[in-house]
Amino acid sequence: MRISRFYLAQTLSPGATIQLSDESAHYLRTVLRLKKGAELVVFNGDGGEYPASVAEVHKEAVRLALGAFNPHETESPLRISLGLGISRGERMDLAIQKAVELGVSAITPLLAERCVVQLDEGARKAQRLRHWRKIVQSACEQCGRNRVPEVFEPLQLDAWTERQSGLRLFLDPYGTLSLRELPPPGGPICLLSGPEGGFSGNERKAAITAGFMAIRLGPRVLRTETAALAALTAIQTLWGDLG
């Protein structure tokens, strides 16, 4: 039987009995439907994990008894920051979820000229950010990661590109380089993937000026959610821990 993994945004320590927040308690009680004595694994994103058992579960409180700390890690040897053009609904959700499974270290949603989705300042922007961070946490629960990638607040494309360093790549159907032609990176990797409408000519020029290399993945034009995931898979296969 598969043991559930559960992310907890709170301090964890060996042998402790902890009470869950209302949101976490509701999820464990009504979604996972775990009963007293059920076993699970918990982590808080700081690295490693803890075996745990349900010590108490009722409407007023859910408490877990933690076991010994397990330093188990599944992190990629590569540190990859993904700048991801914001796309609509499920496409963006899928790209974020699978990027976590493929070992990305950080994600920044990007506002570009051809973004179909426009985020207003205020409640809607904050709501989308909470939603994306929840997707990342759930993906870590599913794939076995004990360190939760950061999802930064959405930025304008040029503001993000100007802050990056290391091996800087952007996915471009007009690019002339392939990943196979590049030497293994000696430091962090920054991967830039466009929105549904792709990058404008001015954005392509700005990315190159900021030190990004235009990479073409193949002869076919890939959809936004496919392109980022194909690139991450290729990067992890060439230089990381896939294959």
What's the CATH number where 227 sits?
Answer: 3.40.1280.10
Domain holding 30, by residue range, is 4-66
Indicate whether 97 and 197 sit together in one domain: yes
Assign 221 a pLDDT band (cuts: 50, 70, 90): confident
Residue 126, pLDDT > 70, answer: yes
Q: Is the pTM of this model over 0.85?
A: yes
Residue 5, pLDDT > 90, answer: yes
Q: Would you say residue 73 lies in a domain?
A: no
H/E segment holding residue 81:
strand 80-85
Assign 1 a pLDDT band (cuts: 50, 70, 90): low
pLDDT value for 120: 65
Task: Give me the CATH number covering residue 45.
Answer: 2.40.240.20
Q: At what angle do helices 89-101 and 123-143 cross, to 10 degrees?
A: 40
Indicate whether 43 and 91 sit together in one domain: no
Query: For the chain, how many structural domains are there in total?
Result: 2
Point out the domain boundary residue: 34, 66, 98.
66
